[in-house]
Chain A
Amino acid sequence: MLERLGLERVDELFADVPESLRYPELQLPAGKSEFEVLEELRSVARRNSAASDVRSFVGAGAYRHFIPAVVPFLSSRGEFATSYTPYQAEASQGTLQSIFEYQSMLSALLEVDVVNASHYDGSTAVAEAVLMSVNVARGRRRDVIVSDAVHPYHREVVRSYSDRIDIRVRGDERERTAGELASLADEETACVVVQYPDFYGRVPDLSGVAEAVHEQGALFVVHVDPVALGLFRSPGSLGADIVTGEGQPLGIPVSFGGPYLGIFGCSKSLVRRMPGRLAGQAYDKEGRRGYVLTLNTREQHIRREKATSNICTNQGLMALRAAIFLAALGPHGLREMATLCYHKTAYAVRRIAELRGFAVHEEADTARFREFVARTPIPAAELVERAQAYNVIPGVALSRFDPQRTHELLVCVTELDSRADIDRLVDVLSRCHEGNAA
């Protein structure tokens, strides 16, 4: 090959690289064979408690759910995994049709008109929804109201995306109901953002909120959990204009926080302002149906600085996982999974509330889904630490997000936790507390 190029050595190809900088001595360990590397990585992985039989009740935005075997099996096929953005539609119908199916299934679940091909995760989906709301108002409304019960990390990401471009984010300084948030809106407000179910596992009653938000000319953004929607009212039926969500519970492992799936949907009237890729139906000359990437004039590769977003690479393979998951569960399976979570959460709430020194705040007719806050007799962080002796991680201490909230533990229970697991959690909590008394 060098001969054909009229060269003697391959380094002649790098003549344009400044000579003084060429060939740095990289201080990296020497390469290893495949089995040695795998063994080394396994030994690193074993330092995680997830490698042993520790029982964890940690949720807070990342949830361990049942993943049907077909999900990893099919999504890891090389034909899906090692392709890229389907720029050449005819050679990528598998990817395009699966995106279209994902969009269709999510659209049915959320009951919104359009769902796009994915964002990075729930947090960036919310941040992009905020930017989109400002764009829909042609930049004239730059006030954004966010509930304090939106995931704290998501609110941080919203601020990272907003703070330096004069978008004012407010409303989360204290606890407010969705109705109270809506009443903060005025003619400067681009959108009101709530989470459903919220970060603390409560399913807020959103009836009438959309109307109040719309009265001020603002958009209503609802950030959802897709599993909960197997059981609870859809954001579309509650009047949401933009729906975002964390799709991780749909067949994606917790994997230390990523890769996840940013769900993003909106009503038809807003679609030309929507960020992110979209698959659409198309026909060829012979009338055969196929799928293409469509409405591309919103996107950076066409519009550059005038695009609706800079997003290019998304989370396509995670969207495929979600699609396979939803197809495998079907309408009944998803409802059953959500119902199991609901009953088990209720059971855990009741059992922990009965424990001496513990309390689970009862708000009249608040529904809970998969998660709840337990008030703890000793600092929750200490409780978490003590529980490790019993191979249990009983939840997340809320002090991790807000140093003031020292005695609150966010506990997550899913369909994977058996009654015996929950009983053991209760037992361990009680021992950890009594250990304190003794």
Chain B
Amino acid sequence: MRRTTDRTIPNGPSGEEKSGAGEPVRISSGRPGVPPPLIMEESREGRRAVDLPEPDVPEAELPGRMLRESNPDLPEVSELDVVRHYTRLSQTNTAIDTTFYPLGSCTMKYNPKVNEMAAAEPGFAQSHPLEPEEATQGSLELLYRLQGALCEIAGFDAVSLQPAAGAQGELAGVLMIRAYHEQRGDAGRTRMLIPDSAHGTNPASVAMAGFEAIQVPTDRAGNVDAKALREACDERTAGLMITNPNTLGLFEQQIQEVTRIVHEAGGLVYGDGANLNAILGIVRPGDFGVDVMHFNLHKTFSTPHGGGGPGAGPIGVAKHLTPFMPGPLVVAEGDPLPWENEGVSGADGDRLLDGNSTAAASSEAASRRVYRTAMPPRSIGRVKAFFGNFGMLVRAYTYIRRLGPVGLRSLAENAVLNANYLKALIGDVYPVKYNRPCMHEFVAVGNVVEGIQTMDVAKRLIDYGFHPPTVYFPLIVKEAMMIEPTESEGRETIEAFAETLRRIAREAREEPELLHGAPHVTPVSRLDEVSAARHPVLCYGG
């Protein structure tokens, strides 16, 4: 017999205080697609999912006055309750595994399952970060290999894998720029230039590092305005934070000029690597003048986004910034340290070929190497306990190892081709401001008819089984709809999505109420975010 659960909800919105207002009505929620009640509401006294053994040692006296007076108010549920609850919750989500998810700037590409298997290898998953280095040579080797691969891919001299996410990479990078200027006695450089198209994390990171964010406009072609940049640069300029391709999905046409202007003014160039997917194997940020850049491994290198995280945001740096990197880094015995004057750059061919396809010989060579950790001499310090989001690093390395240089370039080409194709299929209906080939994504305008907003189009897409694009970003395009199809999608999906967008544009003219009321097929329709923020209920019973 199937146990159905009920959920109690108030009978419609009635005034300011919604929770508990009105007469409760019962809605059966046993069918798929309808979320289960809160797990706290499913609690029944005495139920439990797992058991633990009795102590096999003599029981010690418990320190009475230090103890909790009552057990924490956690749900009491059976194992089946837990399984059914979270399975059903998951079924109310859209995800890459279920749905085309063209969320611009987030690179929602397919996440290969072999990555998960590699990260779950007991040798990795059970490896403790504070065991002696001799006992963790495998983990250190993995980190070393990934450092080298990322250096090579983006053209840097060293990589720190510590930052847990892109925004933390930004903070670390800006702190390094600050430390660099201070070290040179150039402490008056406190202004960071940021294009008006930048991600919100850029100015937020700058503020956390104690710098002032100065906005630089975008020119008519969708590039950083070089003239304005030149005027903004002076002896107070710490540097420029630039995203290339930028958030309009365009490659900065004067990128070398832009980095030269900043360098000539004594500043450094920070690269936001969120959009690296478009240029893998096409061009390396280190080669066009970026001094420090974060990678988003969860975007470019296919680690799952996890409903918000974890990500990983390693930073690559040019030689002159290596002494300031957050540490520790992994080094191989016998290699010169990245910050030492003599010797190889981080992109040394030999070490990258460790574990190469000429199998036995070189993997034997790799296993003979000894790895250890090292802290750069003028490090900004740790930005995270231990070694970064290791599990994500294993996944990203697995991905790079699968593709190799040919595969990486080919994926970038396909990402860019897919975006341009989609743009061509919808550009006449949803205008795209800048008329030149885009990179991995493009920004269209969604308010196709008066009375319809981009949000309406986005919500209607949900009814057709698509996750909406990023909307209302970048801020410099009104009613923006930022679409990133990624290389993972086949032509049929791109065409079906384009056809749906065109159909929605027709609906906008003919039956606008369909858009205003969307989504119609989800467990809830549009939620009242204003009331939610005005009277926040942030926990059960809260």
Contacts and interface: CB of A to CB of B under 8 A. Distances in A.
A48 B89 contact: no
A232 B363 CA distance: 50
Contacts of B336: none
Contact of B468 (A88, A159, A300): A88
A101 interface: yes
Contacts of B171: 161, 310
B538 A232 contact: no
B349 A114 contact: no
B394 interface: yes
Given A16-B251, A101-B40, A287 B13 contact: yes
Interface in A233-248: 233-234, 237, 246
Contacts of A25: 405
B304 to A, nearest CB: 4
Contacts of B90: 74, 77, 79-80, 94
Contact of A313 (B86, B153, B167, B540): B167
B395 to A, nearest CB: 10
Interface in B480-524: 491, 519, 522-524
Contact of A104 (B252, B288, B542): B542
Interface in A354-405: 365, 367, 384-385, 388, 393, 396, 400
A304 interface: yes
Contact of B417 (A2, A51, A94): A2
B1 interface: no
B121 A41 contact: yes
Given A27-B152, A123-B382, A295 B93 contact: no
Given A79-B98, A131-B208, A256-B129, A301 B135 contact: no
A346 B67 CA distance: 16
Contacts, number: 719
Interface stretch (A55-63, A170-178, A184-192, A430-438): A55-63
A217 interface: no
A216 interface: no
B492 to A, nearest CB: 12
Contacts of B519: 90-91
A211 interface: no
Contact of B96 (A64, A72, A82, A295): A82
A104 B42 CA distance: 14
Contacts of B356: 29-30
Q: In which size bucket is the chain A interface?
A: 35 or more
B201 interface: yes
Contacts of B153: 26, 28
Interface stretch (B229-237, B308-316, B446-454): B308-316
Contacts of A233: 66-69
A14 B416 contact: yes
Contact of B400 (A21, A28, A36, A109): A28
A138 interface: no
A161 B528 contact: no
The winner among B55, B60, B385 for most chain A CB atoms within 10 A is B385
Given A26-B408, A310-B201, A393-B135, A94 B96 contact: no
B94 A40 contact: no
A168 interface: no
Contacts of B357: 29-30, 32, 36
Contacts of B531: 282-283
Interface string B280-309: 011110011000000010100000111111
Given A37-B401, A58-B128, A418 B56 contact: yes
B35 A278 contact: no
Contacts of B120: 72
Contacts of B309: 118, 259, 313-318
B76 A331 contact: yes
Nearest to B381: A160
Interface string B425-462: 10000000000110000000000000000000011001
Given A46-B138, A89-B527, A164 B210 contact: yes
